[in-house]
C-alpha cells in the first residue's frame, strides 16, 4: 500500500474546511497552516455563524470547532450542526485538562479532537486520519465488505462488522486517549473484557500493565485485600507485606469486572480512591498514592441496582464518565459468520488442529440461533464442533436449543433470556412488560411531563430517563406541543 501525504491529498482534490474559533489569532494561524497544503478554508468566529454557513453550504469536508466560545459554545455548535447534517465530520479543539468537554464532544459525534496550541505536524496527522484515512477505509469497506479485526493479547481479538460495533470502535479510539473512567455495560459474554483491553491498547498507558480484578469471584474481605494490599500482621495469616492491585498497576489501567457485585462497604472505599487517588493497605497507617485509570464492567441493570441501593449512585456517576453499551450477539447477527470463521482459524492454530470446512447450512443454523451466551457460547460451540467433527450433530444441537427458545418467545428477547434459564427468563419478561406499561401510563397521565411521571412511579427522574431509553419510549409528536404548553 502506497503512503500518501496530507499535501498530496489536498492537491488531488481540494477539500473544504470550516474553522470555528472566536480567537482571530488562532483563526489566522490555522488558516495559514491549511492553505499551505492547498485546502479551501472558510473561517467564522461563532457557533451561530458556523450553523448558518452549514445550512447555506452543507459541503464542508471537515469542521474544526473550538470548544470555549461565548454564547453558543463548541458542544452546542456540534450538536446543532449534527442536526442539520448528521454525517458532518467535526473535530473538537480543546484544552488538555478539559477532559469532560472532550468526552461530551465524542458523545455528540465529534470524530476526533486536538489540544491547543498545536503544531503543523499534529494538524497534518489529524487531517490524514479524518480525511484520507476515513474516506479510504469507508470506500474499502463498501467495496469488499471486510470487517475490522484487531488482535489483542492472550488469543483475544476484536471484530467489528456491524454498524453499531464500528461506531463503538470509533468511540473507543477517541475516549482511549482521554484519561477518564469508562463503564462497559452488556450481557454476559458480549466481550466487555475485550473492549477494555482495546481501550488500554489504544491509550497512552499501553506500555504499563492492565490488571483485571473479578469483583464477583472473591468475598468482600478478600477483594479488599486484593485491591488495596495489606501489611504484615494485618490479620491472621498475613505473614508478609503484600501490595494491592491499585499499587501494582501504577501508571497503568485496572479493570474492575463485575463491579455490580461489589459490596456497598467496599464501594464507599473505592469512591474515595477514585476521588483522590490515595488509599492505605489493610493494617497500614500511611496513605499510598497511585496513578491509574479505572475501567469497570457489569451485566447488571445499573438504575435498578441504584434504586434498590445495592449500588451507590455517587460511585456510578464517578465511573460512567463515558459509558459503552455493548449489544448482544443476536442484535448484530451479520457478524456471526465472520466470528465463526475467526474462531475456527484461532482454535485451529491454538490446538494444532487441521482447519475444518463448514457448509452454508451450518452458517444458517448459527444465524437462526439466539446465542444467549453471546461470544462465549459461540466460541464454545466452535470448540465442540472441532472436537466432534460432526456438522450434522452440531446443527441438530443448535436446532434443539432453538426449539427450546421458541417455547419462551418473549423471554428470548430480553437480556440474559433463554430457554436454558426457563422460569427466570419468563418472570423477567413479564416484569419488564409490566414495567413498560406502567411507565407509558404514567407518561400519558402526566401529559408527558417526565418529572411528574417520575413522581407517580416513585422513582428518580434520572431513573425514568434511563428506563425510557432502555424501552425506546419516544414521545408522540402530537403530544409534544401539549407537553411544552403544560410546562409553561
Domain boundaries, the chain: 6-144, 158-325, 329-412, 425-487
**What integer pLDDT is reported at residue 443 of this predicted model?**
87
Any idea what DSSP says for residue 252? S
Closest Cα partner for 209 from 254, 178, 256?
A: 254
**What integer pLDDT is reported at residue 269 of this predicted model?**
92
Instruction: Measure CA 133 to chain center.
Output: 22
**What integer pLDDT is reported at residue 408 of this predicted model?**
46
**Per-residue cell: 137:** 477505509
Residue 270 · residue 311 · CB < 8 Å: no
Q: What is the CATH number of domain 6-144?
A: 3.40.50.2300
**What integer pLDDT is reported at residue 429 of this predicted model?**
63
- Helix, strand, coil tally for the chain in percent (to 5): 55, 15, 35
**Per-residue cell: 150:** 484487531
Task: List pLDDT tens digits, range 420-441.
Answer: 445 545 555 676 778 888 888 8
- Rounded to two decimals, what is the model's pTM? 0.68
Closest Cα partner for 473 from 438, 439, 446?
A: 439
Q: Could you give the strand order of the β-sheet that contains 253-257, starting from the edge strand earlier in sequence?
A: 210-214, 253-257, 293-298, 182-185, 322-325
Any idea what DSSP says for residue 419? G
Buried b vs exposed e over 323-347: b needs ≥16 C-beta within 10 Å?
A: ebebebbbebeebbbbbbebbbebb
117 preceded by cis ω (within 30°)?
yes
In the numeric block, the cell 471484530 is attached to: 159
**What integer pLDDT is reported at residue 79 of this predicted model?**
92
Asked if the 425-487 domain carries CATH number 1.10.10, the reply is yes
Residue 148 · residue 161 · CB < 8 Å: yes
Closest Cα partner for 469 from 297, 258, 308, 303?
A: 303
Neighbours of 417 (CB within 10 A): 24
**What integer pLDDT is reported at residue 12 of this predicted model?**
47
Cα–Cα dist 55/18, whole Å:
13
**What integer pLDDT is reported at residue 108 of this predicted model?**
87
CA-based radius of gyration for the chain: 26
Q: Is the dihedral of CA 175, 178, 179, 181 positive or negative?
A: negative
Q: Is the dihedral of CA 232, 238, 239, 241 positive or negative?
A: negative
**Per-residue cell: 302:** 445499573
**Per-residue cell: 407:** 417455547
**Per-residue cell: 319:** 465511573
Cα–Cα dist 476/460, whole Å:
22
Q: Which CATH architecture has domain 329-412?
A: Orthogonal Bundle (1.10)
**What integer pLDDT is reported at residue 63 of this predicted model?**
93
In the numeric block, the cell 471537515 is attached to: 62
Using DSSP's 3-state secondary structure scheme, residue 375 falls into: helix
**What integer pLDDT is reported at residue 293 of this predicted model?**
94
> Cα-Cα-Cα-Cα dihedral of 10, 14, 20, 24, to 10°?
80
The residues of the chain scoring below 70 in pLDDT are 1-13, 96-98, 132-147, 154-155, 404-429, 431, 477-488
Cα dist from 152 to 103, 195, 329, 349, whole Å: 25, 10, 20, 15
**What integer pLDDT is reported at residue 411 of this predicted model?**
40
Q: For residue 448, what are the contacts with CB-CB under 8 A and spacing of at least 6?
A: 475, 479, 480, 482, 483
Any idea what DSSP says for residue 370? -
Please determine whether the domains at 6-144 and 158-325 fall in the same fold group of CATH.
yes
Neighbours of 229 (CB within 10 A): 23
Cα–Cα dist 380/249, whole Å:
32
Cα–Cα dist 160/166, whole Å:
5
CATH class of residue range 158-325:
alpha beta
**What integer pLDDT is reported at residue 142 of this predicted model?**
39
Amino acid at each position: 500500500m502506497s503512503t500518501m501525504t496530507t499535501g498530496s491529498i489536498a492537491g488531488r482534490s481540494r477539500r473544504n474546511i470550516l474553522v470555528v474559533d472566536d480567537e482571530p489569532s488562532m483563526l489566522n494561524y490555522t488558516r495559514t497552516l491549511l492553505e499551505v497544503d492547498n485546502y479551501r478554508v472558510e473561517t467564522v468566529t461563532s457557533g451561530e455563524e458556523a450553523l448558518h454557513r452549514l445550512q447555506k453550504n452543507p459541503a464542508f469536508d471537515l469542521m474544526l470547532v473550538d470548544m470555549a466560545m461565548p454564547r453558543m459554545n463548541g458542544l452546542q455548535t456540534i450538536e446543532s450542526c449534527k442536526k442539520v447534517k448528521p454525517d458532518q465530520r467535526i473535530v473538537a479543539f480543546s484544552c488538555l485538562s478539559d477532559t469532560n468537554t472532550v468526552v461530551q464532544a465524542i458523545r455528540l459525534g465529534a470524530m476526533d479532537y486536538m489540544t491547543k496550541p498545536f503544531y503543523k505536524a499534529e494538524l497534518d496527522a489529524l487531517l490524514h486520519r479524518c480525511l484520507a484515512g476515513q474516506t479510504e477505509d469507508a470506500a474499502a469497506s463498501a467495496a469488499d465488505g471486510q470487517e475490522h479485526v484487531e488482535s489483542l493479547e492472550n488469543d483475544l481479538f476484536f471484530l467489528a462488522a456491524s454498524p453499531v460495533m464500528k461506531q463503538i470502535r470509533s468511540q473507543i479510539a477517541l475516549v482511549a486517549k482521554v484519561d477518564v473512567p469508562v463503564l462497559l455495560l452488556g450481557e454476559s459474554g458480549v466481550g466487555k473484557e475485550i473492549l477494555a483491553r482495546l481501550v488500554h491498547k489504544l491509550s497512552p498507558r499501553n506500555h504499563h500493565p492492565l490488571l483485571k480484578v473479578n469483583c464477583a469471584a472473591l468475598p468482600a474481605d478478600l477483594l479488599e485485600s486484593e485491591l488495596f494490599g495489606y501489611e504484615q500482621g494485618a490479620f491472621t495469616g498475613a505473614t508478609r507485606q503484600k501490595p494491592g492491585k491499585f499499587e501494582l498497576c501504577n501508571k497503568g489501567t485496572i479493570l474492575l469486572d463485575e463491579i455490580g457485585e461489589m459490596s456497598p462497604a467496599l464501594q464507599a472505599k473505592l469512591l474515595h480512591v477514585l476521588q483522590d487517588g490515595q488509599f492505605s493497605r489493610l493494617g497500614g497507617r500511611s496513605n499510598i498514592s497511585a496513578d491509574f485509570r479505572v475501567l469497570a464492567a457489569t451485566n447488571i441493570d445499573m438504575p435498578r441496582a441504584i434504586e434498590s441501593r445495592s449500588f451507590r449512585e455517587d460511585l456510578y456517576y464517578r465511573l460512567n464518565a463515558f459509558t459503552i453499551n455493548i449489544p448482544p450477539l443476536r442484535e448484530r447477527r451479520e457478524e456471526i459468520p465472520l466470528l465463526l470463521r475467526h474462531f475456527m482459524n484461532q482454535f485451529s492454530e491454538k490446538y494444532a488442529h487441521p482447519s475444518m470446512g463448514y457448509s452454508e447450512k451450518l452458517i444458517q443454523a448459527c444465524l437462526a440461533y439466539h446465542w444467549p451466551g453471546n461470544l462465549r457460547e459461540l466460541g464454545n460451540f466452535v470448540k465442540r464442533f472441532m472436537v466432534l467433527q460432526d456438522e450434522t450433530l452440531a446443527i441438530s444441537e443448535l436446532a434443539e436449543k432453538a426449539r427450546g427458545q421458541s417455547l419462551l418467545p418473549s423471554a428470548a428477547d430480553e437480556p440474559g433470556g433463554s430457554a436454558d434459564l426457563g422460569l427466570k427468563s419468563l418472570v423477567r419478561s413479564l416484569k419488564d412488560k409490566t414495567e413498560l406499561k406502567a411507565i407509558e401510563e404514567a407518561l400519558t397521565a402526566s401529559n408527558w411531563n417526565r418529572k411528574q411521571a417520575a413522581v407517580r412511579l416513585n422513582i428518580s427522574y434520572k431513573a425514568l430517563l434511563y428506563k425510557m431509553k432502555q424501552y425506546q419510549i419516544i414521545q408522540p409528536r402530537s403530544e409534544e406541543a401539549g407537553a411544552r404548553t403544560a410546562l409553561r
